[in-house]
Homo-oligomer: A and B are copies of this chain.
Amino acid sequence: MSDSNSTTKNSADLNPEQHVLELGQRARAASHALATASTQDKNQALHAIADELDSSADELLAANAQDLASAKERQLDAPLLDRLELTPARVASMSAGLRNVAAQSDPVGAMSGGERQPSGLVIAKMRVPIGVIGVIYESRPNVTADAAAICLKSGNAVILRGGSESMLSNRIIARCVRDGIARTAIPADAVQLINTTSRDAVGALLRMEDYVDVIIPRGGKGLTSRISQDARVPVIKHLDGICHVFVDEASDLDSALNVAVNSKTYRYGICGSMETILVAESESQAFLPMLNDAMAPHEVELRGCEKSLKIQPHWASATTEDWSTEYLGPILSVKVVADVQEAIQHINQFGSGHTDAIITSDIQRADRFVRQVDSSSVIVNAATCFADGAEYGLGAEIGISTNRMHVRGPVGVLGLTTEKYVVTGNGTIRQ
């Protein structure tokens, strides 16, 4: 089951389940100490790791060159090679990322509530780390440092499993992480890398309920679906982003056009990219030609509903399948709708509950859209491509959750914490 690209087998390759079990036990033990580590100690570790990465840049680039050479030999495709490649600038951006996470505020230990009950008890809540997090990712070696940083800051122990194609790079980064941590009061097992490319190791990680509290896949939909299918441990999923912009009646059409073009063309491949635009019938005669002309220089293919085609007959015809397709490319489906109510219905039926926007100057219809659209981000008068942790002020982001429970939308340090009850009496007994 191993597709290792290193030449010698280590003990982790020979018995991947045992290896992962040991990592889990060590992670759980470390998580208890880490949960109560001081903010200062955690920040010191983040800076130490950043320093270690900076001073190991040459070694890391050499290992990465080996990974790249193997990947080219195996004829992996160009986008994957791009994600895999490290440059001096990319290494510098990894260490800068660590220092940024150090500069963020630490939510662990914050108290809320505290109301006194009839019994005399005071009931409060304390924010605490989740515990142990498993991160499974593909190709991009910078995730090793990014995920370590965000888990460490939130007080969680982490077990990392990178792609086999980036194993040599990941090992150097993981070594930097552990060497950095070793110079601080943070437990050494706070960050561990699965040291085998065996697929059995992933299977073991996904089923290790006693030692892993949540799995976060970072990669394409294929990876996420496979992991969700096999996991016994809860998964923070990131599935489709079928995002909509609705141009309401009473919109400033120039502004609506600006937002629409930005939502589609900011970057085609991101999950917050607009895939369908809904246009209120009252605005369609004026807006559709504007949309046509604005998308032309970007060579975006427009696919219209029946009503749109009456206004723009040269467009391709949209099928039902278009309404539920995440193009991730220069294609846009267009639908004319009667009003905000039809827009909301369309989004709740065909959307993926990711990010959807209304462009309007009417406060009541904006409010209705915000309340009734069942998506993790509902946007008023701004582009859907803003769906991103940094843009939301979360600092570092470990992904965007399309789950409904625990955390929805961009997941930062706060999303990796939970709360426990702290109950205080004075010898209080229950009557």
Binding site for B on A (CB under 8 A): 32, 35-36, 109, 115, 117, 119, 121, 123, 126, 128, 130-131, 213-214, 234, 252, 255-256, 258-259, 262, 266, 348, 359, 370-372, 374-383, 385-386, 391-393, 403-406, 408-410, 418-430
Q: How far is the CA of A419 from the CA of B259 in the complex (A)?
A: 25
User: Is the CB–CB distance between B348 and A32 below 8 Å?
Assistant: yes
Q: How far is the CA of A406 from the CA of B382 in the complex (A)?
A: 29
B residues near A109, Cβ cutoff 8 Å: 371
Q: How far is the CA of A359 from the CA of B425 in the complex (A)?
A: 10
Out of B214, B372, B418, B429, which one reaches A382, CB within 8 Å?
A: B429
Beta-carbon nearest neighbor of A255 in chain B:
B427
User: Is the CB–CB distance between B214 and A386 below 8 Å?
Assistant: no
Q: Distance (Å) between the CB of A36 and the closest chain B CB?
A: 5
B residues near A410, Cβ cutoff 8 Å: 421
User: Is the CB–CB distance between B383 and A430 below 8 Å?
Assistant: yes
Q: Distance (Å) between the CB of A95 and the closest chain B CB?
A: 23
Per assembly, the copies of the chain total 2
Out of B372, B382, B392, B405, which one reaches A405, CB within 8 Å?
A: B405
User: Is the CB–CB distance between B266 and A430 below 8 Å?
Assistant: yes
User: Is the CB–CB distance between B262 and A382 below 8 Å?
Assistant: no
B residues near A266, Cβ cutoff 8 Å: 429-430
B residues near A405, Cβ cutoff 8 Å: 130, 213-214, 234, 405-406, 418
User: Is the CB–CB distance between B121 and A391 below 8 Å?
Assistant: yes
B residues near A213, Cβ cutoff 8 Å: 404-405
User: Is the CB–CB distance between A428 and B130 below 8 Å?
Assistant: no
Closest 9 CB pairs of A and B: A382-B425, A255-B427, A262-B429, A382-B428, A406-B406, A377-B421, A379-B423, A405-B406, A380-B424
Out of B36, B372, B383, which one reaches A428, CB within 8 Å?
A: B383
B residues near A380, Cβ cutoff 8 Å: 422-425
Q: Distance (Å) between the CB of A61 and the closest chain B CB?
A: 31
27 contacts between A and B (CB under 8 A): A32-B374, A119-B391, A123-B393, A130-B404, A234-B403, A255-B427, A259-B429, A374-B420, A375-B420, A376-B420, A378-B420, A378-B423, A379-B424, A380-B422, A380-B423, A380-B424, A382-B423, A382-B424, A382-B425, A382-B426, A382-B428, A385-B430, A386-B425, A386-B428, A408-B418, A409-B420, A409-B421
Q: How far is the CA of A165 from the CA of B65 in the complex (A)?
A: 67
Q: How far is the CA of A404 from the CA of B212 in the complex (A)?
A: 11
User: Is the CB–CB distance between A419 and B408 below 8 Å?
Assistant: yes
